[in-house]
Amino acid sequence: MAVIDKNSVTLNVLVTGTTTVEPIASSPPDFLFDSPRIKADASITLTGAAGENVGGWVLGFIQLKYIGTNRVHYRGATVRDGSIMFTRSNETLCRDTDDHSAEVWFDSINSGGTTGTEGTNKLAAASMLGSTGSLNVRAGLVDKPWRRWPATRSNTLVPGFPINYLSYAVIELLFCTMLVAQDPAGKFHMLKHFYWNAIWEQKFKRDSITGNVAIGQTIRLQHNVQRLVV
């Protein structure tokens, strides 16, 4: 059976763009918490006998979110208008994959994910090693986390349902991304991994003239990628 040449494993990560919080022209208006684009490219070499069938091998990424903080605060124009706190925070290990996918891969093979050399790469049944007894296999991952929160909310617990205004938000998304191969027998081979995160912490204010919600003090806008780990 073909094996992975461990010395051939490559993994490169490229980050482009910036971490931003910006208003969206919608009705009602929203704020978009956007992050840079992270792109990982990887390759391995399978080795064995020349002409050996290697159909069914898979190379791809498994991504886990191990911290997800989503906490947003709204305040009324007066104390009587109350306030609202939304939280969707957790510290539960969460498999990050396509919606409705039962697979472990970041890009689902059967549920609409990117496949081939730009995503999860499953070799076709007729794939064979070349005359040198080797075959280079590539895979990729692209991610760009974002969140969207409305500028205002009606406070349904206060008589008259007064408008509450976005005043503070903290969003922290922490990931572990693993380059993994799966052989035709179903065994997983973890090859390399890296940690990365996207963080937004932002205060908001009301414009003194229009009364609309505007960007206030920026506390943290971060996007960090740790060095690759073998």
Least confident of 54-58, 63-67, 93-97: 93-97
Task: Read off the pLDDT of each residue in 101-111 and give the average, rounded to a whole number.
Answer: 92
For position 29, what pLDDT does the model report? 84
For position 15, what pLDDT does the model report? 95
Residue-wise pLDDT tens digits, 129-178: 999 999 999 999 999 999 999 999 999 999 999 999 999 999 999 999 99
In the chain, what is the greatest distance between 2 CA atoms, to the nearest angstrom? 78
- Percentage of the chain with pLDDT > 70? 98
Task: Say yes or no to pLDDT of 229 above 90.
Answer: no
- Domain map (residue ranges) of the chain: 3-225
| pLDDT band with cut points at 50, 70 and 90 for residue 230 | low
DSSP 226: P
pTM over 0.75: yes
C-alpha gyration radius of the chain: 23
- How many C-beta atoms lie closer than 10 Å to residue 139's C-beta? 29
Task: Say yes or no to pLDDT of 62 above 80.
Answer: yes
